[in-house]
A and B are shown apart, each in its own frame.
Chain A
């Protein structure tokens, strides 16, 4: 079975894929399909954040006693990205391609540096701190459930 780090990193990549499709559709002026893809991306990101905030981070904080450390920083960045996602949704709904793509670019850069911090620092710490089998099982079932919802 894959490690916690691999499962969560794979989910980042899978979200990037949907993001790229949404961005391509908006750039081509296809606002309806762009919005549908964007909503799919937003839902996937939200589920990813929820999995981290409600399952992984509390487990890590419990195991290590580190409550004001990296998990707090990541929670703050999640809040900021949620605001950015909403603002981009409004720009796509308003069919303003330049505004939407410009904000997408800002979000993408923000998200990539956020992902790097998680993949290179936090996830390896989660690997060490959390019970392996049980956590991996929780992640797998949460991600499968998300994929079923978004593809269905």
Chain B
């Protein structure tokens, strides 16, 4: 059988499935921005508060999770529903019901998590954790089933499979960490599990999913040469193996040199991948402005600076261990991961919308001609403002770690940035909804 990685556009989930995730994700980032703003106001009004002094303080952990669960995971799950069907030729089992369960658990779990943050009641955390774990477990099981039933082999699917396995490990450790937080006297608390959880979440679940999806979308959206076939086949596997080694070595061995070498290998995998993406993007034939390319480049530069800071932290070169760790955390989460996902959304949203609107027209050329084009679907001036706001948020978040007094500004910037993303996405969703209503007969809708 021939190995191919074709995209199958005949198997696309109903448009509201990915859109519900894409519409909700910015709202969680707006909430995270509001939390930061409130912290910033508290700091300005009171001299007793110390912000951004340690990675272990509650505010850091909570804000980080609002972004990683509420925004990043929300977008990645929406993309997963879409890409599994398109690349594997199989919809996730359970159809709209599973999509509703996963979405319901993630959205309500994220919402409860936010409420728990505000009132600090342990039961709210427990309820939030149960919902989040349930939603993600359903996703892992359905995702793995869909990939196992895929009509063809594809390196993207392999990368997605490894990403889902990483998600499973990440959820298990995350749930164990919550138990340790809730019942330290009976379960005990071991901080090493935190790094283990972080590694599998960021490098495994998110990193491998981005890698796999990019194999398809970079050549298609940016008209670049394709990724080398051998690279596509082996890079996710090598990265996954380095991740296993790095997480195990980090857990059992605390020496700076040993862990640096193995973390260097893992970072090297992502570094090579990022350099390859950069080379491909520089070979794109189209020379006109493309905001998504700017987001990819921002992510690649952030990854390079993160790698340097990671080793500065490891060997304590700067003498400010926790602050270096927090700076590198902002770079990795907001500079690398958030940049990539919101950058991809600038292409995925108009592309999906155009695709669905075309399908509503059912081959009627006159109706297709009257559809809005890509630049009318997502306005380039909105994307341009959004990119500038993203850069401002990134710069302010980094500065905030060094000068906590500007936390309010950083929070406001994040809130404004993601309010704009919500507006952009909602505007397109309304457009698609209207197109569906106008094009399809009522019985087919």
Q: Which A residues are within 8 Å of any B CB, using their own CB? A: 16-17, 19-20, 23-24, 27, 76, 79-80, 83, 87, 98-99, 101-103, 105-106, 108-109, 112-113, 116-117, 120-121, 124
List the B residue with the shortest CB-CB distance to A103. B373
Q: Known contacts being A16-B285, A113-B220, A120-B4, is A102 close to B365, with CB within 8 Å?
A: no
B window 359-373: CB within 8 A of A: 363, 365, 368-369, 372-373
Determine if A101 and B288 form an interchain contact, defined as CB atoms under 8 angstroms apart: yes
Give the tally of cross-chain contacts (CB within 8 A).
70
Q: Do A109 and B351 touch (CB < 8 A)? A: yes
The yes or no answer to B354 lying at the interface (CB within 8 A) is yes
Whether A108 contacts B223 by the Cβ 8 Å rule is yes
In residues 1-45 of chain B, which contact A (Cβ within 8 Å)?
2, 4-7, 9
Which of B220, B365, B374 makes the CB contact (< 8 A) with A80?
A: B365
Contact of A87 among B286, B287, B369 (CB under 8 A): B369
> Which 8 A-B residue pairs are closest in the complex by CB-CB distance?
A102-B375, A102-B373, A105-B374, A20-B285, A120-B6, A120-B4, A103-B373, A112-B220
Interface residue ranges, B against A (CB under 8 Å): 2, 4-7, 9, 219-221, 223, 285-289, 350-351, 354, 363, 365, 368-369, 372-376
Q: A87-B369, A98-B375, A117-B7 are in contact. Are A109 and B288 (CB under 8 A)?
A: no
**Shortest Cβ distance from A108 into B: residue:** B223
For the A-B complex with A20-B223, A99-B373, A112-B221 known, give 18 more contacts whose Cβ atoms are closer than 8 Å: A20-B286, A24-B287, A79-B365, A83-B365, A83-B368, A83-B369, A98-B375, A105-B350, A105-B374, A106-B373, A109-B220, A109-B354, A112-B219, A117-B6, A120-B5, A120-B6, A124-B2, A124-B4
Q: Which residue of B is nearest A86, CB measured?
A: B369
Task: Give min CB distance, A96 to chain B, whole Å.
Answer: 11
Closest Cβ neighbor of B221 among chain A residues: A109
B5 touching A106, Cβ below 8 Å: no
Which of chain A's residues have a CB closer than 8 A to the CB of B223? Answer: 16, 20, 108, 112
CB distance from B443 to the nearest CB of A (A): 24
Report yes or no: B287 in contact with A116, Cβ–Cβ below 8 A: no
Contact in complex: A76, B219 (CB < 8 Å): no
Once the chains are docked, how many angstroms separate the CA of A12 from the CA of B5? 18
Q: How far is the CA of A117 from the CA of B87 in the complex (A)?
A: 11
Do A106 and B369 contact each other (CB < 8 Å), given the known contacts A24-B287, A113-B7?
A: no
Chain A residue nearest to B154 (CB atoms) is A120
Minimal Cβ-Cβ distance residue in A for B6: A120
Of A19, A20, A101, A106, the most chain B CB neighbours within 10 A belong to: A106
Which residues on A sit within 8 Å (CB–CB) of B373?
99, 102-103, 105-106
**Chain A contacts of B375 at CB under 8 A?**
98, 101-102, 105
Closest B residue to A26 by CB, please name it: B288
Q: Which of B6, B220, B221, B286 contacts A121 (CB 8 A)?
A: B6
- How far does the alpha carbon of A98 sit from the alpha carbon of B373 in the complex, in Å? 10
Q: Inside 8 A of B369's CB, which chain A residues have their CB?
A: 83, 87
Give chain A residues whose Cβ lies under 8 Å from the Cβ of B5: 120
What are 8 residue pairs bridging A and B, where the CB atoms are less than 8 Å apart in the complex?
A: A17-B285, A19-B286, A24-B287, A79-B365, A102-B374, A103-B373, A113-B7, A116-B220
CB-CB under 8 A from A83, the residues of chain B are 365, 368-369
Name which residue of chain B comes closest to A83, CB basis: B365
A143 to B234 alpha-carbon distance, docked (Å): 36
Cα–Cα, bound, A25→B4 (Å): 36
- Cβ–Cβ < 8 Å partners of A99 in chain B: 373
**Least CB separation from A28: chain B residue:** B288
Q: Within the assembled complex, what's the spacing in Å between the Cα atoms of A23 and B288?
A: 7
CB distance from A120 to the nearest CB of B (A): 4
Of residues A24, A79, A103, which shows the largest number of chain B Cβ atoms within 10 Å of its Cβ? Answer: A103
Distance in angstroms between the alpha carbons of A124 and B219 in the assembled complex:
19
With a cutoff of 8 Å between Cβ atoms, the chain B residues found around residue A19 in the complex are 285-286
Q: How many Å lie between the Cα of A98 and that of B363 in the bound state?
A: 25
B221 surroundings in chain A (CB, below 8 A): 109, 112
